[in-house]
A and B are shown apart, each in its own frame.
Chain A
Amino acid sequence: MAQAAQIILGGLLQGSVFALVALGLSLVYRVTGIINLAQGGFCLLGALVYDSFAVQLGWPVPAAAIAAAAATTMFGLALGAASFVPALARLPNSSMLMLSAGLLTVIEGLALILWGSQPYAVPPFSGERPLAFFGVRMPSQGLWIAAAAALVIVATWWLLARTATGKALAACAENPLAARILGVDVARLTLFSFGLTAFIGAVGGIVAAPILSLQFDAGHFFTNTGFIAVAIGGMGSFAGAIAGGLFLGVAEQLAAGYISSLFSNALALGLLLLTLLWRPQGLFVPGRRRRHDVRDEQRLYRAILRVDGRGAALAAVAALALLAALPALLGEGGVQSSLTITLILFIAVLGLDVLMGFAGQVSLGQAAFMAIGAYTAGILATRYGMPPLLGTLAGLALSILCALVLALVTMRLRGAYLALATLTFGLLVDQLAVGLTGITGGPSGLVGIPSFAIGPWTFATPSAMYALVLAVIVALVLALAGAMRSSFGRALQAIRTDQTAAAALGIDVARHKMAAFALSAALASLAGSLYAFDFHFLSPEMVATPRSFEMIAMLVLGGEGTLLGGLLGAAVVTLLPTVFQPLADYKILAEGAILMLAFQYLPAGLLGSFVRLLEPRRGRRAPAAGDAVKALLR
């Protein structure tokens, strides 16, 4: 009994921190419709700045806490004013998501430079001695966490429900255009809400610092748990964020206490997936089912890239010649193996482009299908001596099966909800890869994977593997280009923006979505298998969820809906770390900054911007359609 109470109390404390992160995510989502992945970065900054003031400089706790919260809020406002708010007016949702991921990387990169990579243990506010009530012990920091969470929650509630600013924020959330017409300064309010969430995040980070081990990359932890909490509770809902946070905290602690700490995360994720499928609006939000986000549709406009057939063919042949010549130019070695990996990742990005760029379905689970392909092929080859080609095909079959099931159960989810469901699937697969040590080898990995072979031909040298992957890519790009320029591709593009109008033309939306999901999973699975055979070794983090985000970054950076753009994106993202290696501690910040700037200033992607450069005037001299139509119809 006392043990249960102890566990639940611990869960509520942890849940209070989750609730604070969730509250911040929820606020920005309400006002902008964007999931701001940088939210966890504010928690991290708050905690680290507090540590500097309180421990390094020896300030008293209240002064250090206030200074840390103020500094983080100022930083948040600056970041919002320079990047998030201005980008909001121009970028589609997928780019905004990646921009916020870039912001998180920038914050973590900054933390690495200022605080280094060692973990910080922050002392509790009021001594180490735990409090005890009726046999249940609680760290004294628990009181501070509970009090801070309650205070922030009440203050935020008062601000939203009782003040004119709160009403104006609600108006922005309901209908930004109407709010602007009525004289609400939407940009300023968005910035205000961004600053407010930085403050809330900082408070959460500061009070939670003593019970966590802090490192420069803890921002991801905060963002992930907050994201899950807000989704369980109900996106955009104030009460839902708090209830979701507390619920998640208690559920994780109960699972860790009674089942196994290894699977406590998997349990939380399973819970989230069920929630999304059963009550997408969240467990704690009464009212209508809301499965898709109407604001998505307003952001789907995209510049059209037109390249005439001959130009495209010429460029493709030139690119292919360059790619074929690269190994000879660079010689075998580190660069060539990273080129092979770039190309392998590009295969998975091609799949993502079909799903996201053409069919408009945001997926944060692409790496999970890589994992399925990689592990299936790897395990079959090492444990059962199955030929690599057969293992690859088995991986393909399993991935397609999983993708079809995932597509079926998420059929009616759209936008942020679909992103969450696919993310949850991805995190679940991560958990299984780590947790099923008997099958996958667990965190220490799967060793001794043979080289790829087709019948008697073995691709054992790096050059042979490079040539094989390049040949696969040429075939895939040709096939996808053929399908995407024809009725299949047009149907996917129609579904991307207007499912109702697509159905009214006889397009079977469900079937096409499932086909896109299956195709995308198949390409990821193929990439995963090739990756395993190329590397001869497989560990969970090679194909884990950060990889999914990385692939979206490649796609958006290169240009969605362009097929070939992903190659540029993959090259930049894989080669950046190599290029920035000499920068040591500045590497992450530089990467984050470059990605952030690219998302912000190259909305059509690298390929798009390149094509624009080639035809500088044509756009401007486009005939004024209105007048000419009138003239023609008169």
Chain B
Amino acid sequence: MTAPALEISGLGKSFGGLRAVHDVSFAVPAGSLTALIGPNGAGKSTLFNLVTNLFLPDAGAVRFFGTPLAGMAPHRIAALGLLRTFQTARVFPGMTALDNVLAGAHRHARAHPLAQAFWLPAARREERALRQRASALLDLVGLREFRNLAGTSLPLGAQKLVELCRALMARPRLLLLDEPAAGLNDAETGELAGLLRAVRDSGVTIMVVEHNMGLVMDIADEVVVLDLGRLIAKGSPAEIRRDARVVEAYLGPAAEGVR
């Protein structure tokens, strides 16, 4: 059996006295679409930041397809094929939507800057191919027409889609998505679900933080639930729906009887 795409063991991080993430362990199987859910403040985004070393963990370890990520610079982690998006879309201002997506190709761009400077045929061919692929990706989320507009001039939901395309442009092995459906309406969310499934079926492992339960239950193979920085449940969507601790975490102890 191959190593899991992501193996998190005993991960912990405190901010001052607050334990944002405490002794969390779980694995994301390769090729799966795993959802990470939990009430606000559960530590989901912090966990993403720990995995990508934007924050340094106080305890624990993270392995990416068996490779330990401890102490690795964020850009090296991305270079390995672990790509992420951010909770608030971080589209680069001053760049068009297309250039934003193209920036995602960085880890694949083979042409040396000098080859680019001398307009060598190989560099120009590569650039042309990248532009085609970036346009095709924007086409996939219906934004092709807007590829030459400033990325930041698009509405928030579209910016999140640009960011998703940018991460896909990098041909990730594991994709960490932080609330990709924020700012999308129901129909758009449906489109996104189809896209994410297609991405997973093409062999990319996905872990997604999402508040839209409909979307999570629809697309996830596995669901991991965090509450107050601790892992409280893990299982298939059907199992999670029945889990008393999850219901309690979301609705409070009194809700037990209501259900």
Kindly list chain B residues whose C-beta atoms are within 8 Å of the C-beta of A632.
Answer: 142-143, 145
Query: At the interface, yes or no: B15 with Cβ under 8 Å from chain A?
Result: no
A302 to B111, CA, bound (A): 28
Known: A304-B96, A483-B113, A493-B99. A500 touches B145 (CB 8 A): no
Please provide the chain B residues from 105 to 122 with a CB less than 8 Å away from any CB of chain A in the complex.
105-107, 109, 111, 113, 116-119
Q: Closest CB of chain A to B90's CB: distance in Å?
A: 4
Query: At the interface, yes or no: A498 with Cβ under 8 Å from chain B?
Result: yes
A504 close to B78 (CB less than 8 A): yes
Query: At the interface, yes or no: A114 with Cβ under 8 Å from chain B?
Result: no
A491 close to B103 (CB less than 8 A): yes
Kindly list chain A residues whose C-beta atoms are within 8 Å of the C-beta of B105.
Answer: 487
Please provide the chain B residues from 123 to 159 with a CB less than 8 Å away from any CB of chain A in the complex.
123, 127, 130, 141-143, 145-146, 148-150, 152-155, 157-158
Kindly list chain A residues whose C-beta atoms are within 8 Å of the C-beta of B78.
Answer: 503-507
Known: A300-B94, A302-B93, A479-B118. A625 touches B155 (CB 8 A): yes
Closest A residue by C-beta to B144: A632
B75 close to A506 (CB less than 8 A): yes
Kindly list chain A residues whose C-beta atoms are within 8 Å of the C-beta of B99.
Answer: 490, 493
Determine which of A306, A480, A561 lies in contact with B94 in the assembled complex, contact meaning CB atoms within 8 Å. A561
A505 close to B185 (CB less than 8 A): no
Known: A479-B118, A480-B117, A628-B146. A500 touches B90 (CB 8 A): yes
Query: At the interface, yes or no: B13 with Cβ under 8 Å from chain A?
Result: no
Stretch of B79-87, B215-223, B228-236 that contacts chain A: B79-87
A189 to B103, CA, bound (A): 41
A506 close to B117 (CB less than 8 A): no
Kindly list chain B residues whose C-beta atoms are within 8 Å of the C-beta of A494.
Answer: 92, 95, 103
Query: At the interface, yes or no: A89 with Cβ under 8 Å from chain B?
Result: no
A629 close to B79 (CB less than 8 A): no
Query: At the interface, yes or no: B238 with Cβ under 8 Å from chain A?
Result: no
Kindly list chain B residues whose C-beta atoms are within 8 Å of the C-beta of A302.
Answer: 93-94
A630 close to B52 (CB less than 8 A): no
A486 to B86, CA, bound (A): 25
Kindly list chain A residues whose C-beta atoms are within 8 Å of the C-beta of B107.
Answer: 505-506
Q: Closest CB of chain A to B87's CB: distance in Å?
A: 12
A629 close to B90 (CB less than 8 A): no
A485 to B111, CA, bound (A): 12
Query: At the interface, yes or no: B73 with Cβ under 8 Å from chain A?
Result: yes
Which residue of A306, A623, A629 has the most chain B CB atoms within 10 A of its CB atom? A629
Which size bracket describes the interface of A in this complex? 35 or more
Kindly list chain B residues whose C-beta atoms are within 8 Å of the C-beta of A443.
Answer: none
Q: Closest CB of chain B to A177's CB: distance in Å?
A: 16
A122 to B118, CA, bound (A): 62
Closest B residue by C-beta to A560: B94
Please provide the chain B residues from 156 to 200 with a CB less than 8 Å away from any CB of chain A in the complex.
157-158, 166-167, 170, 184-185, 187-188, 191
Query: At the interface, yes or no: A613 with Cβ under 8 Å from chain B?
Result: no
A300 to B153, CA, bound (A): 14
B127 close to A485 (CB less than 8 A): yes
Query: At the interface, yes or no: A622 with Cβ under 8 Å from chain B?
Result: yes
Closest B residue by C-beta to A628: B145
B104 close to A505 (CB less than 8 A): yes
Kindly list chain B residues whose C-beta atoms are within 8 Å of the C-beta of A306.
Answer: 96, 148
Kindly list chain A residues whose C-beta atoms are within 8 Å of the C-beta of B119.
Answer: 478, 482
Query: At the interface, yes or no: B56 with Cβ under 8 Å from chain A?
Result: no
Which residue of A486, A498, A501 has the most chain B CB atoms within 10 A of its CB atom? A486
Query: At the interface, yes or no: A2 with Cβ under 8 Å from chain B?
Result: no
B188 close to A633 (CB less than 8 A): yes
B106 close to A623 (CB less than 8 A): no
A482 close to B54 (CB less than 8 A): no
Query: At the interface, yes or no: B74 with Cβ under 8 Å from chain A?
Result: yes
A10 to B107, CA, bound (A): 59
Query: At the interface, yes or no: A488 with Cβ under 8 Å from chain B?
Result: yes
A629 close to B102 (CB less than 8 A): no
Q: Closest CB of chain B to A35's CB: distance in Å?
A: 22
Known: A304-B150, A633-B142. A488 touches B113 (CB 8 A): yes
Closest A residue by C-beta to B192: A633
B102 close to A490 (CB less than 8 A): yes
A629 close to B158 (CB less than 8 A): yes
Kindly list chain A residues whose C-beta atoms are within 8 Å of the C-beta of B95.
Answer: 304, 490, 493-494
Kindly list chain A residues whose C-beta atoms are within 8 Å of the C-beta of B83.
Answer: 504-505
Query: At the interface, yes or no: A58 with Cβ under 8 Å from chain B?
Result: no
A503 close to B92 (CB less than 8 A): no
Q: Closest CB of chain B to A448's CB: distance in Å?
A: 36
A500 to B88, CA, bound (A): 13
B146 close to A623 (CB less than 8 A): yes
Kindly list chain A residues whose C-beta atoms are within 8 Å of the C-beta of B155.
Answer: 625-626, 629
Kindly list chain B residues whose C-beta atoms are within 8 Å of the C-beta of A503.
Answer: 73-75, 78
A478 to B92, CA, bound (A): 25
Known: A483-B116, A488-B116, A504-B74. A301 touches B94 (CB 8 A): yes
Query: At the interface, yes or no: A30 with Cβ under 8 Å from chain B?
Result: no
Closest B residue by C-beta to A511: B75
Having A490-B103, A505-B78, one finds 6 other A-B pairs with CB under 8 Å, namely A304-B150, A487-B116, A488-B116, A490-B106, A496-B94, A630-B185
Task: Please provide the 10 A-B residue pairs with the shortest distance between their CB atoms, ordered closest to farther.
Answer: A632-B142, A506-B78, A487-B109, A506-B107, A486-B116, A479-B117, A488-B113, A302-B94, A501-B90, A633-B188
> Can you identify 18 A-B contacts, CB atoms within 8 angstroms?
A301-B152, A306-B148, A483-B116, A483-B117, A486-B123, A486-B127, A487-B116, A487-B130, A493-B94, A496-B92, A496-B94, A497-B94, A500-B54, A505-B103, A507-B78, A507-B106, A625-B155, A632-B145
Interface on A for B, CB 8 Å cutoff? 300-304, 306, 478-480, 482-483, 485-488, 490-491, 493-494, 496-498, 500-509, 515, 561, 622-623, 625-626, 628-630, 632-634
